[in-house]
Amino acid sequence: MAKLPKESPVVLIMAGGKGERFWPRSRTNSPKQLQKVYSNKTLLRETIDRALTITTLDRIYIGTNANLKTEILKKDPKFPSTNFILEPEGKNTAPIIALSALYFQKKFGNPNLIVLSADAFIDPIKEFTKTIEQALYETENGMVLLGVKPNRPEVGYGYISTGKPTDVGYTVKAFFEKPDFKTALKYIKKKNFYWNPGIFLFRTETILSELERHAPHILNPLKNGFPFKSFGDLKTAFQMLPSEAIDTAIMEKSNRIRMVEATFNWDDVGSWMSLERILPGDKEKNHHQGKEVLYHKASGNISSVQKELIAFLGVKDLIVVEEPDVLLVTSRDGVGDIKAMLSTMRKNKVLQKYLD
């Protein structure tokens, strides 16, 4: 087995998303990663604390936009103000990872880079740390993904199928996009199928080499102008780039990928529905976040409220979210239409203020 690198890895936390499916708590200027969703810490702070178990604060960077940088520092003023990779506009994950790799190569040489998202639930942290340390062994052989063993036929996640075992993981045979329910049922019955949680590890030289090979249309506009003399120059370069995920730009094309199985519990905190998997529930599958709650002939409800008491009487499968200026009441079936509803609200000048 290869030796674990002595140099601490660099961590890039992706925190530029809008988090629309967590409206009304998630807003344009204060999206879900800056909100307390399942604990007394923001999702971003949870991720930073997780990263601190594998590296030092000076080697943790946040990928986001200029507006959110200001909001992040308001909530977390002790975070180093220079440790941001700013993107002029959101173009999915491949462009920001390419830009970050160029920056880290110039600043650190050829460090191990770990890419995390700011909107995941991971527990326990000690198992996260252990898995990452194991996965770092594999970066000498290529790019590394973590894989989470599925416990339900989830249609909202991508899947990985593995091949032959390696020192601490497996080779990767194929990627599968979000399946329908019937296909997901087949996947979870196979021992070599895993959820793809979007956690990546690689040497900066490795990811830049793979970008050059498989996605020069993303790397070259950034590489040709790097280091950029001004944010305006970076903005011009970004306008040339497609909006593309690192998964489709590189991971699904490369033959230099390994996967290490995660030993922690993971959930994508993607919508209010995720709280039923994170928060404790009663025997009627009600899940509550707040002060007092009363259920009478009620089942399958999810609530996150600020009132002293919320009472559910004779209802089922409702989601209730309270903010100081907005009360959201939706059915489980209806919650998937939040983005469409917000799109309608944007067209109404009276309602626009509830989006920011």
Last residue of a domain, one of 211, 235, 267: 267
Write the pLDDT tens digit of every residue in 228-239: 999 999 999 999
| CA-wise closest residue to 20 among 153, 119, 159 | 119
Whole-angstrom Cα distance, residue 293 to residue 229? Answer: 56
Which stretches of 148-222 are assigned E, i.e. beta strand?
158-165, 170-176, 193-196, 200-203
Whole-angstrom Cα distance, residue 335 to residue 329? Answer: 9
Q: Which is it for strands 265-268 and 193-196: parallel, antiparallel or unpaired?
A: unpaired
Whole-angstrom Cα distance, residue 57 to residue 77? Answer: 13
HSE toward the beta carbon, residue 121, CA cutoff 13 A: 16
When the pLDDT of each residue in the chain is averaged and rounded to a whole number, the result is 95
pTM for this model (two decimals) = 0.94
* Sequential DSSP letters for 50-81: HHTTTS-GGGEEEEE-HHHHHHHHHH-TTS-T
In 3-state terms, what secondary structure has residue 111?
coil
Which residues does 213 contact at the CB level (< 8 Å), separation at least 6?
254
Q: Both 136 and 251 in a single domain?
A: yes
Contact assessment for residue 341 and residue 335, using Cβ atoms and an 8 Å cutoff:
no
Write the pLDDT tens digit of every residue in 126-176: 999 999 999 999 999 999 999 999 999 999 899 999 999 998 999 999 999
Q: Both 251 and 302 in a single domain?
A: no
| CA-wise closest residue to 160 among 247, 93, 270 | 247
pLDDT at residue 2 greater than cutoff 60? no
Region label for 173, one of left (φ > 0), alpha (ψ between -120 and 50) or beta (otherwise)? alpha
pLDDT at residue 350 greater than cutoff 80? yes
Q: Both 165 and 48 in a single domain?
A: yes
As beta bridge partners, residue 309 has: 292
CATH number at residue 56: 3.90.550.10
List the domain range (segments joined by +) for residue 280: 272-354
Q: Residue 330's pLDDT is what?
A: 97
Contact assessment for residue 59 and residue 12, using Cβ atoms and an 8 Å cutoff:
no
Q: Both 294 and 263 in a single domain?
A: no
For 12, the token pair is: 């890039």
Last residue of a domain, one of 245, 267, 289: 267
